[in-house]
A and B are shown apart, each in its own frame.
Chain A
Amino acid sequence: MSTVESTDNADIVAAVDNRSWFRKNRLAIAPWLFLAPAIIFFLIYVILPIFQSIWISFYEWDGLGEATWLGLGNYIELLDDDRFYTSLWNNLLWLFLFLLAVPAGLFIALFLNQTVFGMRLYKSLFFFPFVISQVVVGLIFTWFYNPNFGIVAEIWGWFDASPPSILGDERYVTYGIIFAGLWPQIAYCMILYLTGLNNVSPDQVEAGRLDGAKGWKMLWYVILPQLWPATFLAIVVTVIGALRSFDMIAIMTQGGPYGSSNVLSYFMYEQALSEYGFRMGYGSAIAVVLFLIMLVFISYFLWSMYQEEKGGH
């Protein structure tokens, strides 16, 4: 009996040992296998180009001929370039004003979060600007702003005033483009909040009501804390959207008039890739600066997500 048992055990041990390395570590390997395609592509198309850009930013290179080493030359030139400061300032404007999309989206979501006949239709109409392409939005707003036949000209006409040339005046042009960009962004934030509002627990609202909370207090102390995940997501998406704003500018002004509506991403494109550009090194230097700015936000977002996850467990 005992001998039989021992041979059985030995067999089992032998069988276990005979399994291939792969079978032994299956559980540990499987997730990596599934992740592998994504990781490989992410490395090739995202991580590697980051280092390539940093590397190129130390060179003077037109994309065709020989590259010459400049060291920090491109960065020194950047510090002395008025257009760089214009772009940087416009990027900051974008960042702050674009965040208006978050509260605006919240209030539209609160407004739409009621049960009225046809509400789904209204919701889809409000969401509509996010569905159409940025290029179309840019084009439509270019026409709105046109001082000859645009709607802005019509409205000014009612007051017998001569309309401002919003996209032709360096004072207004960036605000004009940001306003156009806000339209779809508000819709996006609104959708995030609408899904968030579905998850607001009715018990807590009820409890708050029993304790006499209503109006702003209810919103601030009961609803908003529960909406924090949606708010976080809305802020992340909006900040990144503001920093990479490109298509609106390309469509509406091409950075003009005379470069006054440039932002870093468009400035980079103009220097490195446009008809009059092909300074790869200088463009890369701008890209690196933009990357560093983004890195500040992205690392904060990652950090706070990590904290939250730790707290959850």
Chain B
Amino acid sequence: MKSLLKSTIIAAAAAALMTGTASAGDLVINFDDPNPAPKAGFEAAVEAFKKANPDVNVTVNINDREAHKTAIRNFLSADAPDVTAWYPGNRMAPFVDAGQFEDISDLWASDPNLSTSFEAIKPTMTRDGKQWGVPYSYYQWGIYYRKDIFDDNNVSVPATWDELLTACDTLKEAGVTPFTIGTKFLWTAAGVFDYLNLRTNGYEVHNDLTAGKVKYTDPRIKETFANWQTMLERCSFVDNHATMSWQDAVAPFAKGEAAMYVMGNFAVAAFKDAGLTEDQIDYFQFPEITPGLARAEEAPADALFIPSNAKNKEDAKKFLSFIAQPEIQAEWNKTIGQLPPNSKSEIADDKFIQKGFETVSTASGLAQFYDRDAPAEMAKAGMEGFQEFMVKPDRLDAILERLDKIQARVYE
């Protein structure tokens, strides 16, 4: 009788222990892109992780990108997953400052990949001298153009500002609008602004502006806008861009009504979906404006983070270190057509990826993007200002003064 009782207790305790270990092996990941290619890339990485760690029970939630941006505020405090997708740079700042993301500096110091192969991207993952996430992908920006239209009009790829303006003149004479853009959701205009500013004033001024150290009425920023004004006049953009999304703006590009598009590499898939072939489209770096200025590029990264409230941080770190491996990053980015942040990863055999890698790896500095480098509130006001400037260039002074006012408040 006594022994029976004893064994029952032991069995119960063992059962409790077993369930205990089982729940410690649950890993919940919230990902933010349900589009076919990003989903496939992510799921392949998760499958590989499962195979390497059969004891970890992985659960994956894939949210819509926009929904994820709102949901993250709730789930970080209420029902935190063990790993979540988010953006580096200033976009992670609110969560880092509120103590909602886990400091993983130890992982960056000890992991063989993170400590050696992520030098270029490390600063964007760093805040307060600590690292907060692991990037799985990034992509170049630049000018995508219709090679066939350029060839038909004997326009060669412009390397300098003057060449670009001359190319625009030729295109306009041929009845082609030089640039397409859709600014309904604002951020596309920030891409143009960032490049003009990076080429006019360089990387430092970009960082100082987005860090609130340079005013919008600063003569250097005014110089950037003066160049933009020239671009608006000679390299006009498509009409009605304020009502179009970036996808809508692909239509004039595909129809041959516009010849160039300042965009990120994710747009290539959309160009091909719109019926353009590999031979019709190509990529070149945004031309030099101030001669001799060190070339910096836009290269926004996507990353994974561990929430502070995660239940299984041990396996979460295991997962982050797993996806930092060169082979995993190579495979993942081949699927989604982007660049692996691990410098030892192989890159896909695709002309856009190859050129992008060439562009990014030789750049003197990598900017995230205006709306990731600047605090969210400043970014919103700034991008509205850019859009207004594109539609009503004569309001420039009023716009810049308004932005100064907002800047003074946001960074106080």
Contact = CB atoms under 8 A, between A and B. Distances in A.
A167 B69 CA distance: 26
A8 interface: no
Contacts of B69: 275
A275 B100 CA distance: 18
Nearest to A276: B380
Give chain B's interface secondary structure class.
Answer: helix
Interface stretch (A50-58, A199-207, A208-216, A251-259): A251-259
Interface string B325-346: 0000000000000000000000
Contact of A147 (B73, B239, B384): B239
Contacts of B100: 64
A64 B94 contact: yes
A277 interface: yes
Contacts of A165: 239-240, 242-243
B391 A278 contact: no
Given A276-B376, A276-B377, A276-B380, A168 B391 contact: yes
A279 B377 contact: yes
A256 B98 contact: no
Nearest to A63: B73
Given A257-B387, A275-B69, A65 B98 contact: yes
B191 to A, nearest CB: 16
Interface string A53-82: 000000000111100000000000100001
Interface in A267-285: 270, 273, 275-279
Interface residues of A, number: 28
A148 interface: yes
Quick one: which of A273, A276, A277, A279 has the most chain B CB within 10 A?
A276
Given A146-B243, A257-B391, A64 B77 contact: yes
Contact of B94 (A62, A77, A145, A273): A62
Contacts of B384: 256, 258-259
B185 A254 contact: yes
B376 A64 contact: no
B97 interface: yes
Interface string A10-51: 000000000000000000000000000000000000000000
B377 A256 contact: no
B387 A277 contact: no
Contact of B184 (A62, A145, A256, A273): A256
Contacts of B409: 77
A165 to B, nearest CB: 4
Quick one: which of A64, A65, A253 has the most chain B CB within 10 A?
A64
A148 B240 contact: yes
A299 to B, nearest CB: 34
B223 interface: no
A169 to B, nearest CB: 8
Nearest to B66: A275
B243 A275 contact: no
A277 B410 CA distance: 12
Contacts of A82: 402
B371 A276 contact: yes
A119 to B, nearest CB: 39
A283 B329 CA distance: 41
Contacts of A270: 380
Interface string B365-389: 0000001000011011000110110
A53 B287 CA distance: 50
A83 to B, nearest CB: 9
Interface in B91-121: 94-95, 97-98, 100
Interface string B232-245: 00000001111100
B3 interface: no
A142 B95 CA distance: 36
Given A64-B100, A77-B409, A256 B242 contact: yes
B403 to A, nearest CB: 12
B168 to A, nearest CB: 22
Interface string A152-183: 00000000000001011010000000000000
A168 B73 CA distance: 32
A276 B240 contact: no
B70 interface: yes
B380 A278 contact: no
Nearest to A260: B388
A64 B387 contact: no
A258 B385 contact: yes
A277 B240 contact: no
A254 B387 CA distance: 13
B70 A273 contact: yes
Interface string B55-89: 00000000000100110010011000000000000
B310 to A, nearest CB: 17
Given A77-B409, A276-B376, A276-B380, A64 B243 contact: no
B207 to A, nearest CB: 20
Interface string B248-288: 00010000000000000000000000000000000000000
B66 A168 contact: no
A279 B100 CA distance: 18
Given A254-B185, A258-B387, 5 more contacts: A62-B94, A170-B391, A256-B384, A273-B70, A278-B73
Interface of B: 66, 69-70, 73, 76-77, 94-95, 97-98, 100, 183-186, 239-243, 251, 371, 376-377, 379-380, 384-385, 387-388, 391, 402, 409
21 contacts: A62-B98, A64-B98, A65-B94, A77-B409, A145-B243, A147-B239, A148-B251, A165-B239, A165-B240, A256-B186, A256-B384, A256-B387, A257-B183, A258-B387, A258-B388, A270-B380, A273-B70, A275-B66, A276-B376, A276-B379, A279-B377
